[in-house]
Amino acid sequence: MSAASSEAAAARSAAPPTTVLAVLFAISFSHLLNDTIQALLPSIYPILKDSFQLTFAQLGWITFTFQCTASLFQPVVGWLSDRKPMPRALSVGMGFTLVGLLALAFADSYVHILMAAAMVGLGSAIFHPEASRVAHMAAGTRRGFAQSLFQLGGNAGTSLGPLLAALIVVSRGQAHIAWFAVLAFFGAIILWKIGSWQARNLHRIAAKHSAGHPSARLARGKLVGALAVLVALIFSKYVYLTSMATYYTFYLIHRFHVSVQSAQMLLFVFLFSVALGTIIGGPVGDRIGRKRVIWGSILGVAPFSLLLPHVGLAATAILTVFIGGILASAFSAILVYAQELVPGKVGMIAGLFFGLAFGIAGIGSAALGILADHTSIEFVFGLCAFLPLIGILTVLLPDIETGPACQAT
């Protein structure tokens, strides 16, 4: 009887872990709350620009401060949590975001705005690698789907930020940002409960791949080269996205003479298409392979991005829907592909790639702001249109997926 029990226990431990949908939906919803709050910052740039008489370069430095605070700390948080799991870190990170949000609402100088942006960035640095780890733990064999669902929450929150800013902050003033502290407090409660589940299920993260897995046979040079290609693809995606998130409203106002609220509504349309497109990449990658999804999601945007600077207002709105939807599928595929390249380092890889995304976006935002001050916002959009062509580098990625079963490994 004991032998049979031992065999049953061994069978259970050898069986692939199940997908815990309740946890995935909870962490995705928490991502929505977190990124809704963070999206408020660029959404109120037109207000801050007028109230504090800021230049485009100064706006870019606000984004740089937020993004670089997040990018510098995320890999560190991920590395530390790989060594010593920190299930309660999620709610602590949301606490930092809450403090930064209140500081932003009552900031009365440019320096105070930068400090508030740094605090929100620190909250993001703690949240993203740990939340991505939870998504990985709850994924079972559906890792692409899990990361897409997790990203869907974040991108939906990013799209809601400008909409809520237009409805609440633009019409009532900067101080009304403080109302969003309620979302942060609610998010901290949810994340505390998720942390309890995480603490009980740390065994769901595999330490390494089997010797037969394709990534286990890669030479160190090829592994480093593959990671370098993924970094280049992240650069392409996030510099383009930051040009849209930070300067799209100014582009619309300057070129088409629309109102601030109309421009924010069109930004919402773009960001909402990003949110919808996010859910595609992961499940499709589970079925056909991450590399194919990366091909289509980066390089496939190029025809639309190259056309965007040369069309009217209606066509601009339509093209941004295609751009956002196609480009959004890239990150989940890139992240899961990278985690399969370097098994056992889920937190570090998540922190590294989220950190790179934030850091590259921050540097890109500052650089594009300076460029816009010296040229024009139209010139910036024309230049960024070529960024998706970097997707051609996908040809250099090794084939580490040999079929659905391997993709789920």
Cβ(299)–Cβ(347) below 8 Å: no
> Which residue in this structure is represented by tokens 């740390």?
202
Q: Which two tokens stand for residue 286?
A: 């589970």
pLDDT at 10: 46
Q: Which two tokens stand for residue 144?
A: 């692409």
Q: Helix (H, G, I), strand (E, B), or coil: what is residue 155?
A: helix
For residue 374, count CB atoms less than 10 angstroms from its CB and return exposed for 0-12, middle for 13-18, buried for 19 or more: exposed
pLDDT at 114: 92
Please say whether the dihedral angle defined by the alpha carbons of residues 94, 97, 103 and 105, taken in this order, is positive or negative: negative
Q: Which of 104, 136, 138, 106 is nearest to 123 (CA)?
A: 104
Report the alpha-carbon distance of residue 290 to residue 76 in Å, rounded: 26
Cβ(276)–Cβ(409) below 8 Å: no
Q: Which two tokens stand for residue 355?
A: 């950190």
Report the alpha-carbon distance of residue 52 to residue 307 in Å, rounded: 35
Cβ(390)–Cβ(298) below 8 Å: yes
Among the residues of 140-200, which ranges form H helices? Answer: 143-164, 170-172, 181-200
* pLDDT tens sequence across 365-381: 778 888 988 999 899 98
Select from 3.40.630.30, 3.40.50.150, 1.20.1250.20, 1.10.10.10 the CATH code of 18-407. 1.20.1250.20
* pLDDT tens sequence across 87-116: 888 889 899 988 988 888 888 889 998 999
Report the alpha-carbon distance of residue 279 to residue 110 in Å, rounded: 37
Q: Which two tokens stand for residue 247?
A: 């300067």
- How far CA 180 is from CA of 103, 105, 143, 189, 287, in Å, comes to 12, 10, 32, 15, 39
Report the alpha-carbon distance of residue 9 to residue 255 in Å, rounded: 66
Q: Helix (H, G, I), strand (E, B), or coil: what is residue 88?
A: coil
Cβ(89)–Cβ(188) below 8 Å: no
Report the alpha-carbon distance of residue 341 to residue 216 in Å, rounded: 8
Cβ(149)–Cβ(135) below 8 Å: yes
pLDDT at 311: 94
DSSP one-letter code for 19:
P
The parts of the chain modelled with pLDDT lower than 70 are 1-16, 170-171, 173, 205-218, 281, 285, 344, 358, 362, 401-409
List the domain boundaries for the chain: 18-407
| 357 sits in which H/E element | helix 346-374
220 Cβ contact partners less than 8 Å away, ≥ 6 residues apart: none
> Which residue in this structure is represented by tokens 């582009």?
251
Q: Which two tokens stand for residue 108?
A: 């009365």
Report the alpha-carbon distance of residue 297 to residue 398 in Å, rounded: 18
User: 3-state DSSP helix/strand/coil percent for the chain, to nearest 5?
Assistant: 85, 0, 15
Q: Which two tokens stand for residue 298?
A: 């980066």
CA 144 to chain centre: 15
